[in-house]
Amino acid sequence: MRGLFVTGTDTGVGKTVLSAALLAAMAAHGERVSAHKPAVTGLDDPGADATPRHWPADHELLGAAAGISADEIAPLRYGPAVSPMLAAELAGETLTATRLLAAGAAALSASDATDRTLIVEGVGGLLSPLADNLTVCDLAVALRLPLLIAARPGLGTINHTLLTLQCARAAGLSVRAVVLTPWPPQPSALERSNLEAIARFGFVEVHTLGRASGPEIAALARVGAELPWRRWLGERPRVAQAS
């Protein structure tokens, strides 16, 4: 299997932009790609979360970047801008680990069968619950994909990122890199120092994703092209045990 799992230090930190930038950059180089998002919420109220209104919903942006239908990417879609568990409850449903794991496994085998590279975007942060006995971290472990961590460049990011790294490693996940996004053209002393501190204290590669001018695929491909995605995909993922 060939793919990456994109998590973040929080909601609204740039997971979708990073995932879409990777998909667009890969597709621009002839890579066949696909994407999966376990659940999307907030479709009734775009802009209620951290996402500005002019950015499309996650599955739409991922679908446009991957060149596949948005609905295929996120089988579970809800209106309210709340956690997936609460959104499901409000819709009179219960999210189960079985259902979410099966959807993730189906996305993996479909991309394997069609020789596509799969980018899975998590929900919220690594310990965000998806079902009673399933966190985003559990899903990443079960899918056995290497991890990228999207993080903010500014104040507070060192602690959030190191916590996420520690959690990922404790679960046996193989962390490819932390990606600070959006990285300004002229980073401040704080932003540069945050990057160095995360690399030094986290013993991790830290990369940056420039600010895309908007959700257009060409703009995403341009910023994504700076990332060493070939190397991230080429390394053999460490096999992790599902918990």
Ligand X SMILES: Nc1ncnc2c1ncn2[C@@H]1O[C@H](COP(=O)(O)OP(=O)(O)OP(=O)(O)O)[C@@H](O)[C@H]1O
**Binding footprint of ligand X on the chain (CB under 6 A):** 8, 11-17, 49-52, 55, 58, 124, 150, 181-182, 209, 211-212, 223
Query: Is 15 a binder of Mg ion (CB under 5 A)?
Result: yes
Q: Which is nearer to Mg ion, 58 or 138 (CB)?
A: 58
Q: Which is nearer to ligand X, 1 or 214 (CB)?
A: 214
**Binding-site partner at residue 65 among Mg ion, ligand X, none, CB < 5 to 8 Å by type:** none
Among the listed ranges 8-16, 132-140, 143-151, 175-183, the one in contact with Mg ion (CB under 5 A) is: 8-16
Q: Which helix (H) or strand (E) holds 141?
A: helix 136-143
What gap in Å lies between CA 82 and CA 210, rounded to an integer?
29
What gap in Å lies between CA 183 and CA 154, rounded to an integer?
10
Query: Is 10 a binder of Mg ion (CB under 5 A)?
Result: no
10 Å CB burial of residue 165 (0-12, 13-18, 19+) is: buried
Residue 8's SS3 state is: strand
15 is a catalytic site residue: no
**Binding-site partner at residue 8 among ligand X, Mg ion, none, CB < 5 to 8 Å by type:** ligand X
Beta strands in 125-227 (DSSP E): 129-131, 134-135, 147-151, 175-183, 206-210
Residues 53-82: x where in contact with Mg ion by CB under 5 A, - otherwise, as a string: -----x------------------------
Residues present in the chain in total: 243
Among the listed ranges 9-17, 23-31, 109-117, 215-223, the one in contact with Mg ion (CB under 5 A) is: 9-17
- Phi, psi for 8 (deg, rounded to 5): -150, 170
CB contact set of 189 (below 8 Å; sequence gap of 6+):
none
Task: Provide, rounded to whole angstroms, the least separation between the CB of residue 68 and ligand X.
Answer: 18
**Binding-site partner at residue 11 among Mg ion, ligand X, none, CB < 5 to 8 Å by type:** ligand X
- Contacts with Mg ion by CB under 5 A lie at 15-16, 58
